[in-house]
Structure 1
Amino acid sequence: MSTLTIVANIIANQDKIDLVKGALLKLIDVTRAEQGCINYDLHQDNENPAHFMFYENWETRDLWQKHMGNQHLQDYMAATEGAVTSFTLNEMTKIA
Structure 2
Amino acid sequence: MAANGPGQGYASVLRGAYSVVAQVRAKPGKEADLRAVTLTLIDLVRGDPKNLVYFLQENRKSPGHFIFYEVFATLEDFEAHNGMPYVQDWFSRLPDLADGGVEVLRMEILGV
Q: What's the TM-score, normalizing by structure 2?
A: 0.79
What is the identity, as a one-letter code, of the residue corresponding to 1:47?
K
Is 1:25 the counterpart of 2:28 in the alignment? no
**Aligned match of 1:43:** 57
Match of 1:76 among 67, 90, 97: 90
Q: Give the superposition deviation at 1:32.
A: 0.7
Work out the CA distance in 2 between the residues paired with 1:3 and 1:94: 5
Supply the RMSD in Å over aligned alpha carbons.
1.4
* Native 8 Å contact 2:54 2:71 kept in 1: yes
* Native 8 Å contact 1:38 1:59 kept in 2: yes
**Aligned match of 2:24:** 10
Q: Give the superposition deviation at 1:78.
A: 2.7
Match of 1:90 among 96, 105, 108: 105
Q: What's the TM-score, normalizing by structure 1?
A: 0.91
Gaps of 5+ in 2: 1-14
Q: Give the superposition deviation at 1:29.
A: 0.6
What is the identity, as a one-letter code, of the residue corresponding to 1:93?
E
**Equivalent pairs, count:** 96
**Aligned match of 2:77:** 63
Q: Give the superposition deviation at 1:93.
A: 1.1
Work out the CA distance in 1 between the residues paired with 2:61 and 2:28: 13
Return structure 1 stretches of 4+ with deviation > 3 angstroms: none
Q: Give the superposition deviation at 1:82.
A: 1.9
Q: Identify the range of structure 1 (86-95 vs 17-26) with the bigger mean alpha-carbon deviation.
A: 86-95
Gaps of 5+ in 1: none
